Structure 1
Amino acid sequence: MGSDLAQDVRNLSTEALGRQMNIVGSPSEAPFPKNVGLLFFNETPHRFFPATQIDVVWFPEGAGGDRFEEKIFQGPLARMTREALDFIQRNYLKETVVKHPDRAEAERFWNFPYAAIEEAVVNAVYHRSYQEREPIEVRISPDDLVVLSFPGPDRSMRMEDLRAGKAVSRRYRNRRIGEFLKELDLTEGRSTGIPKILKVMKENGSPTPEFESDDDRTSFLIRLPVHDRAMIQTTKVGAQSGPSRDQVTPQVTPQVHKLVAAIGGELTRAEMMDALGLKDRMHFANDYLQPALAAGLIEMTIPDKPQSSKQKYRLTAAGRALLQQPAGSQDGADV
């Protein structure tokens, strides 16, 4: 990152380099890695600090539903953080396009703005206690994205100031971790995370985020509500509609279109995956099945029992209408 030390690294021993970076301590006859060194430069820091991980949990039916899918990220802090963020960005962030008949520019917004998620997750990595045997948890549902970490903000910060984006920490729980995250361009380290979350959520047109902690500051929760219109499709694919000021383009990605085209009659999940040549159940659920269900292009044959072993899926009227449209006319397709 432009450090003078990078120019001398080949001429230094591992111990000398570690001491220069202040991640190795103790006398020279018995050098020992410091905690920050183990967290950033050991492949398995969870061996030394249990539950050093990020759990990403997806609830397709909402937090009260019976189904969820989980992926756990471990490893050096910077890599773990980036891999978790990349996974969330690939699988759960969707852009909606709103076209206006009275002007050329379309309105675009995300269900959750990536910059807000990045700040929330990095904030959790920076400020969590590595003595707590609790992972950072990112809970995603159609309604919100929640980042939970332990413990909560330092008592020197008032929650009302924090919610307003005006809180400035007088004490940093993990100053060395913050220094490394700053060097890696993952944080600014100047209490700017919460104000940035508020700013990018507002710019995206999203509802105001929520910040919660109990009186004892045992945990900290950041809740990012989904954009109000990201879940709403005012005009179904192929449906006839009268004059409308706004039209929300359905999320008909190439994957969704492939799934719709592959369904003939009623098919089980396994039969759909086989027809598409897919093996990864999570990839199929996130990129094909759930978006097609959300867009109203397919439906369950037993909707009141989503987990039924006899569950199958079929096209809706909107799905059949989509297949009748000329190739390339699906405005919502991602390219």
Structure 2
Amino acid sequence: MALPINIDALLNGTAVEWERIEFKEGWNAEEVVQVLCAFANDFHNWGGGYLVLGVKTSGGRPILPPQGLQPEQADAWQRKLLELGYRLRPAYHPISEVATINGKIVLVVWVPAGEMRPYEAPLSLAKDEKRMSPYIRIHANTIEAKGNLKSELYSLANRIPFDDRQNGSAPLAELQPILIQNFLSEVKSNLAAEALRLPLDELGRRMQIVRGPQEAPRPLNVGLLFFSPAPARWFPQTQIDIVHLPQGRGGDQIIEKEFKGPLGVMLRDALAYLRNNVVTQFTRKLPEQAEAERYSNVPYPALEEALVNAVYHRSYEEREPIEVQITPEEITILSFPGPDPTVNMEDLRAGRAVARRYRNRRIGEFLKELELSEGRGTGIPKILESMKANGSPEPQFETDASRTSFLLRLPLRPNPKAGPRVSPIVTNPVTPSKSAGIGNMLEAGETLAPRVAPKAFQQLKVSTASLILSACLEPRRSSELLQILRLKDRSHLLSNYLNPLMKRGLLARAQPQSPKSPTQCYIITDAGRAWLSTPPSSPLG
């Protein structure tokens, strides 16, 4: 069964953190059952982990290419995994995939956090062994939980993080298969090839974003946040508000931008706007030096990490948006609530803090797979390092005594009096046609569709196609596209704009089985994303 992760990235430690992966060269049933128990208990709310069989290690890291397994070994070990699942109390069954890496077979076992923790495993698999004990992961080690650790584990029994809970209000159909398929394609999962052919219930269960009885499956909150076209329907104020105050907080001029949609889309659109409209590069000629100094008003890596952290760590139970304020002196990012009580603020300001528990374990998993987040405990150090390397003042981290909010201040480094301004930043730019919100494209003067198309209209302009596909980076209803293109006739929109793009596989209906659904949306495909990267110069005939 294909897993919703890229196996190559997993083995190289770029998909999840090393602490969440256990490599085994061969089969040791006792060790395997204890590893399964530890990952299922998810002591730190990391989201479980992965057991990879058929891989040697050196210093805790895999030796690649892997040693590999024989096909009959992989089949036999999968059957043994089923047997071991019944040895846990309560019973627990992971999900596995037989993968081929560099021509070698490995068995990858995904062990998501269990719904019925704490789990216990036998101390040994001897025939007369009856003693059971819980196991947990501490760093990269599987240990028996004793004393205070055991008490703490048992206290977590009924505390499932919000993002990993079933949503009792949203229907299963709120999850859009095309959004799931786009995600799986982006992370290069083998499951992408099956996504649109599988029933939504089965696809969701394999993604671990659907739970519940077969007769009444329910989406998990994390599934709605990433794969619903409008998460704010279920979690009000799931949005990023950017407020630009060019004259400062006492001035009259205010520019406001609002970003909504699936978390990945919302976050990327907001980052693209900030990179294209806020981050600016300057040069300064230094005396007695041939090379001029180049720096930014704010380093983009710090800004990116700060906003990703806010999306990752905010509470989606609180009806408060993430607010980004931009003044001539600083950029502030406000989110709710504040840091976990286990985090020491002095350690956080020094870049040394590591939370004992993570508020949104599943959101962190998805952000990491999308390469928007690097890993636990890396965000604040990256912000500090980026600001220092840019010559910027130190960032400031603020919260109140009750930790109801978290405010990050990024002071702007001013434009030097000597030396021209170079703008906007051009290192690895994010172009509006690929990522920016549609409002930015309209402001940039993007060519719009003709208000009244001639009867002989047969070709779709590249600029118009780019506009539609960029708008559909998040699901769009036909009413929204009519407004964006400044058209009035829905049938005209469909026949002359949307159908040509769908015919070429660049655009798709979010509900392909119900083309006339009143909630129908349109979403870009992988082919459409590729086309946006290198659009042709001639119209689409």
TM-score by length of 1: 0.69
Post-superposition CA distance 1:213-260 (Å, at most 9, x none) = 001000001100011xx3342xxxxxxxxxxxxx3224588xxxxxxx
In the alignment, is the contact (CA less than 8 A) between 2:282 and 2:415 conserved in 1?
no
Q: How far does residue 281 in structure 1 lie from its aligned partner after superposition?
A: 10
Residue number in structure 2 paired with 1:141: 327
Residues 99 and 249, structure 1, Cα contact 8 Å, conserved in 2? no
Aligned residue runs from structure 1 range 6-155, under 5 A: 6-100=192-286, 102-155=288-341
CA distance in 1, matches of 2:222, 2:381: 27
**Cα pair distance change 1:250/1:114, threshold 3 Å:** closer
The structural deviation recorded for 1:199 is 0.4
Q: Do the aligned partners of 1:116 and 1:200 also contact (CA within 8 Å) in 2? A: yes
Whether the aligned pair in 2 keeps the contact of 1:69 and 1:282 (CA below 8 Å) is no
Equivalent-residue separation in structure 2 for 1:143 and 1:196 (angstroms) = 21
- 1:146 touches 1:224 (CA, 8 Å); kept in 2? yes
In the alignment, the residues of structure 2 paired with residue 280 and residue 75 of structure 1 have an alpha-carbon distance, to the nearest angstrom, of 17
Among residues 337, 341, 353, which one is paired with 1:167 in the alignment?
353
Q: Unaligned 5+ residue runs, structure 1?
A: 234-246, 254-278, 285-335
Match of 1:210 in 2: 396
**1:157 corresponding residue in structure 2:** 343
Partners of 1:59 and 1:68 within 8 A in 2: yes
Question: Match for 2:408: what amino acid?
Answer: I
Instruction: Supply the AA of the counterpart residue of 2:300.
Output: Y
8 Å contact kept, 1:98–1:249: yes
TM-score, normalised to structure 2, is 0.43
User: Over aligned residue pairs, what C-alpha RMSD do you find?
Assistant: 2.1
- Aligned mate of 2:415, from 231, 236, 248: 231
Larger radius of gyration: 2
Give 1:10 deviation, angstroms: 4.6
| Cα distance in 1, alignment partners of residues 205 and 397 from structure 2 | 39
Residue 181 in structure 1 maps to residue 367 in structure 2: yes
Structure 1 position 106, deviation (Å): 1.7
| 1:222 and 2:392 correspond | no
Q: Taking CA–CA contacts closer than 8 Å with sequence separation of 6 or more, which of the two structures ends up with the larger relative contact order? A: 1
1:45-80: CA deviation from partner (whole Å, max 9, x where unpaired):
001000000000000011222221101000000100
Per-residue deviation at 1:11?
Answer: 4.3
Instruction: Show the 5 A alignment for 1:302-317.
Output: none
The match for 1:199 is 385
Whole-Å separation in 1 of the counterparts to 2:345 and 2:274 = 28
In structure 2, what is the Cα distance between the partners aligned to 1:195 and 1:172?
Answer: 17
* Preserved contact between residue 152 and residue 220 of structure 1 (Cα < 8 Å): yes
**Who is 1:274 aligned against?**
none
Q: Distance in 2 between matches of 1:186 and 1:281?
A: 26
Q: 1:170 to 1:6 in 2, by over 3 A?
A: same
* Secondary structure, aligned partner of 1:16: helix
Query: Structure 1 residues 59, 226: closer, same or farther in 2, change over 3 A?
Result: same
Q: Secondary structure at the match of 1:108?
A: strand
Does 2:420 correspond to 1:249? yes
Q: 1:284-333: per-residue Cα shift (whole Å, max 9, x none)?
A: 9xxxxxxxxxxxxxxxxxxxxxxxxxxxxxxxxxxxxxxxxxxxxxxxxx
Amino acid in structure 1 at the alignment position of 2:242: V
Structure-2 separation of matches of 1:2 and 1:145: 35
- Assess, with a 3 A threshold, how the Cα gap between structure 1 residues 193 and 71 changes in structure 2: closer, same or farther: same
Structure 1 segments of 4+ aligned residues over 3 angstroms from their partners:
250-253, 279-284
Identity of aligned residues (%): 57
| Partner SS for 1:79 | helix
Rate the CA distance shift 1:182–1:30 in 2: closer, same or farther, 3 A. same
Deviation, 1:4, is 3.1
Alpha-carbon separation, structure 2, partners of 1:134 and 1:11: 38
